[in-house]
Structure 1
Amino acid sequence: MAGGTEPDEKRQGMSPEQVLTTALELNASFEEEPAVLEYLVNHHLAPNVKRLLDPFQLSALMLNRAETEESQDIYLRNLWKQARKDIPELMQMKMVYDHKTSTYLFGKWAEFYRKNDKIINSRVKMRTSVFLQKTIVSLNAYRKTRSEIVDFYMKFLTEWKDDRYISMALDFVEQSLKEITDRSVLKDTLNMGVKLAELKKSERTAEKYRERLKTLDED
């Protein structure tokens, strides 16, 4: 049997659980070599991993624990590809992603929305909200990158000033609080809830989150 064929055949016979375990092991084994990890995930594991992981979780596999600049750049490049699939209007942005793009990606994205307000309708805003929420969920193990995405999401919500999307974000916070176990991420999510409640001018809701933050700090 050819040397390059046997690993592929063995991989095809792996159970979904084994594929997931292998993907996580790769993430740990190659965290100092994110470019190698990206190649392995995209070209060797992707067909099987997709049965278990959505595209957001798959992209998150490319981040290392230190969330280094190189791994963030690779992560954002893959996330941007997904964004252009999920939000077709972004295809109108004539921007080629390179190693420098990560430093201004979110700024250019926000600028595109501001300058093209006629096409940024409720459908685009809904797609954007869903996309960013899925992204945030997939980053619960990567606090630095998660915080950047949350800030970007909050920026849109602040600019849109629409209670529909703010309420949608508050529902997202409530659901996230039921699922998050990490104390630091829990605190970040409660702070997000406070900001959203203040944006909605709901002092009662903001106070609810402040009380939970206070209780968390006291534990």
Structure 2
Amino acid sequence: MGYKNLPLWSNRRRAKLLKEFHELFVGYYNDLTAHGHGGEVVEGNVAQQNRVKLNYLITDVQRAIIDAGCHSIVRYQDAPIAGGRVHNMDPIANLFRLYRYQMDPHFVTDAVEAAVGVYDRDFLSALIRTLNPLWWAWKLVGWLASLPFALIGAAGFNRAAAEGSVIGKLFKFIAEISILILTLLQIDQLVFAGKYLVLIKANLPT
């Protein structure tokens, strides 16, 4: 779910999560001591405590960064003795191997800080859409259109693959438009019924 599809409280929760992660990572990295050669390090007491907390948060942080469009993937080249292969690497997924890979910790902090900026700048927009009943109505339409894919996932099949396929996207689009039209027709019928009742009452003998 992209950051523009989040209500205000989710926006603030993610910004807080990222800031907490940033603080824990800086504390962790500053409490490392190089040990011998080969990128081995010794973790101090603070680093050991922060490592547990970082592990707990890392999956949600990765999701928040990706949803903000601030991907942390970098190009990394193995040592010549290991073949010198160039490949993509996620520093956040390899948080506790940065020393070993001789990777700059700023790869992590830069991605986190950039994502915080995205969520903070989206604060006003998040507030407006949270207060907008039409936005919630469209969210409900999207949820209803996604129910068949939820059933596919519950049956053990790959929901993401089904929902992301061309046929899946087309089905979801048609379902959303159909639900929206049916909802508007229902509202129109209710409005008509209300006007009809008012007209009847106005013509009743007193």
- TM-score using structure 2 length: 0.21
Q: By percentage of residues, which structure has more strand?
A: 2
- TM-score using structure 1 length: 0.20
Q: Which has the larger radius of gyration?
A: 2
Greater relative contact order structure (CA < 8 Å, 6+ sep): 2
